[in-house]
Amino acid sequence: MSEKDLNGRALKVAFIGSECYPFVKTGGLGDVMYALPRALQRQGCEVRVIMPCYRCIPDKYKRMMQHRASFMMDLTRDGRTFFVGIMEAELDGVTYDFIENREFFDWGNPYTGLWEDIPKYCYFSKAALAALNCLDWIPDVIHCHDWQAALAPVYLRTHFAGTPVGSARSVLTIHNLRFQGICGIEHLKFWTSLPDELFNYPVFKINDGEANMFKGGLAFADRITTVSAAYADEIQTDFYGEGLNGHLWYHRQKLLGIVNGIDVEQWNSQEDKLLTAPYDGEDVLQKKPENKKALQERLGLSTEGDQFVIGLISRLTDQKGLDLIDAVFTQMLDEHTQVVILGTGDPRYENAFRYYEGEYKGRVCAYIKYDESLAHQIYAGADALLVPSLFEPCGLTQLIAMRYGTVPIVRETGGLKDTVEPYNENTGEGNGFTFDRYEAPLLLDAVRRARRVYTEDRDRWNAVVTRDMAKDVSWQRSAGLYMDLYAELAEQ
């Protein structure tokens, strides 16, 4: 029994979120929904993960699911009821409950567009709470993630007040404030049938007269967390607050930043079957060149000479600082530098990177796909990983890179600032290369500083690589902070 247990019994926490690796993942949220419950479980917490049963979940996982229950649930203002199926699976000791409804979850990968996603997640948040009552599994805390689950804290204190799950406390985590679930007030009233008085300014209403699901959830949640301390401060400012900075400042007493970790079993260079030459901190310097060569061969890059290979693994959106990369791309390249891009997203960036690949054959590869196995091979085979984000709530790619002995080059924002200690030219200390203002010449300067150390001071470069591999990027410490938070809430 852990010391964090409540009067001798384990804390019970229900995770509610829209994606979870390995069932469905589009970004860091999927990683956290997978890794944090496992880490919590190791610390003595009982966790259940509730997510939609999307059609796009691969069959091999669907075959693991068993039907647990089904019922009809009220949802809309016109009194329509909707089917809720509960499919259950267990993976490595964590129980997953999948909410089944073909009307909502048969489309998308898994998202479609706000018009369909808003009803989908109004339904999901309510069905998740109803499922807990139906399963008679009443958690101490419901831990909700991003706008898609933001209505759960609101339903908890309205439609579910007085029901068994209504005794739970709620935590709402902001993984990315850019996406908020905004629609017309009447639309949200229809799909939630929540009381009219909630559609006022302190709860759902925003300045332009629309309704904002995230805003309402933040108002109702007992605690708000975000995925790094720096981002917790940033979102209270105009620049990073995405229109909710005033609201978050108002609720700052319940706002806390806890930095994400990564699952160190999922990301383990020593056991990684996808690598040509698995390695650990002891033999990284011998094995990385083998992985680099395999990567170059797979992607049709030149293997001549000692190349400085820069990786980019990212959703290709404005958030990720790609306009900075585009502005200085050709200046970043030289005959000893190669760039490997893995990502999908905005056609503007997809096309720009495809163009560079065509223009610099053998030196640039733009792999415009989502590909887990290539991601592993880039983390292992590249020397440096670029993350020049405009904003970055936490960022996982720099953490995975460090774990694989790949040196991050990042902008000092959000979680990047909290997790990458800048290289110090005088002492050789630090974990990566950083720049502060969102300006392309500063990114170029950071890349050049990194390359200079790589080519002219290999001992110091190697010291950064081995230091990165030794850095603790696991969930252990942060999971402990979540345990403290849950225990504090449960005891109130």
Buried residues in 291-323 as b, exposed as e (16+ CB within 10 A): bbbbbbebbebeeeeebbbbbbbbbbbebbbbe
State the Cα–Cα distance between residues 228 and 183, nearest whole angstrom. 28
- Shortest Cβ distance from residue 213 to ligand ADP (Å)? 19
C-alpha to C-alpha distances, 343 to 211, 313, 409, nearest whole angstrom: 32, 6, 17
Q: Tell me whether residue 130 or residue 469 sits nearer to ligand ADP (CB atom).
A: 469
- Shortest Cβ distance from residue 343 to ligand ADP (Å)? 5
Contact between 31 and ligand ADP by CB under 6 A: the answer reads yes
Among 106, 304, 359, 372, interactor with ligand ADP by CB under 6 A: 372
Which span (21-29, 94-102, 190-198, 346-354) binds ligand ADP, by CB under 6 A? 21-29
- Shortest Cβ distance from residue 345 to ligand ADP (Å)? 9
Q: What is the largest CA-CA distance in the chain?
A: 71
Q: What are phi and psi of 257, to 5 degrees?
A: -100, 125
- Shortest Cβ distance from residue 395 to ligand ADP (Å)? 4
Among 5, 326, 346, 371, interactor with ligand ADP by CB under 6 A: 371
Among 17, 28, 153, 321, interactor with ligand ADP by CB under 6 A: 28
Contact between 342 and ligand ADP by CB under 6 A: the answer reads yes
Q: Tell me whether residue 28 or residue 110 sits nearer to ligand ADP (CB atom).
A: 28
Among 179, 355, 370, 438, interactor with ligand ADP by CB under 6 A: 370
What angle, 0 to 180 degrees and rounded to 10, lies between the N-to-C axes of helices 114-135 and 185-192?
30
State the Cα–Cα distance between residues 397 and 419, nearest whole angstrom. 11
- Shortest Cβ distance from residue 315 to ligand ADP (Å)? 5
Q: Tell me whether residue 393 or residue 422 sits nearer to ligand ADP (CB atom).
A: 393
Among 133, 158, 245, 344, interactor with ligand ADP by CB under 6 A: 344
Q: Tell me whether residue 130 or residue 473 sits nearer to ligand ADP (CB atom).
A: 473
State the Cα–Cα distance between residues 223 and 273, nearest whole angstrom. 40
- Shortest Cβ distance from residue 16 to ligand ADP (Å)? 18
Among 17, 217, 257, 343, interactor with ligand ADP by CB under 6 A: 343
Q: Tell me whether residue 119 or residue 395 sits nearer to ligand ADP (CB atom).
A: 395
State the Cα–Cα distance between residues 167 and 59, nearest whole angstrom. 36
Dihedral sign for Cα atoms in the order 377, 383, 389, 395: positive
Q: Tell me whether residue 168 or residue 316 sits nearer to ligand ADP (CB atom).
A: 316
Contact between 298 and ligand ADP by CB under 6 A: the answer reads no
Residue nearest to ligand ADP (CB): 28
C-alpha to C-alpha distances, 259 to 256, 386, 415, 420, nearest whole angstrom: 10, 20, 7, 12
Sheet of 12-16: strands edge to edge?
66-74, 81-91, 94-100, 46-52, 12-16, 141-145, 169-174, 223-226, 255-257
Question: Looking only at residues 62 through 91 of this chain, which bind ligand ADP when binding is defined by CB under 6 A?
Answer: none
- Shortest Cβ distance from residue 364 to ligand ADP (Å)? 16
Q: Tell me whether residue 65 or residue 325 sits nearer to ligand ADP (CB atom).
A: 325
- Shortest Cβ distance from residue 350 to ligand ADP (Å)? 11
Which span (50-58, 152-160, 234-242, 390-398) binds ligand ADP, by CB under 6 A? 390-398
Do residues 442 and 410 touch, judged by C-beta distance below 8 A? no
**Closest C-alpha among 382, 179, 205 to residue 295:** 382
Which span (26-34, 228-236, 242-250, 291-299) binds ligand ADP, by CB under 6 A? 26-34
What mask of x and - would describe binding to ligand ADP in positions 308 to 337, judged by CB under 6 A? Answer: -----xxx----------------------
Distance, first Cα to last Cα, the chain:
21
What mask of x and - would describe binding to ligand ADP in positions 395 to 414, judged by CB under 6 A? Answer: xxx--x--------------
Residues binding ligand ADP: number (CB under 6 A) = 19
Identify the bridge partners of residue 100 per DSSP, sorted by sequence position. 85
Q: Which chain residues interact with ligand ADP by CB under 6 A?
A: 27-29, 31, 313-315, 342-344, 370-372, 375, 394-397, 400
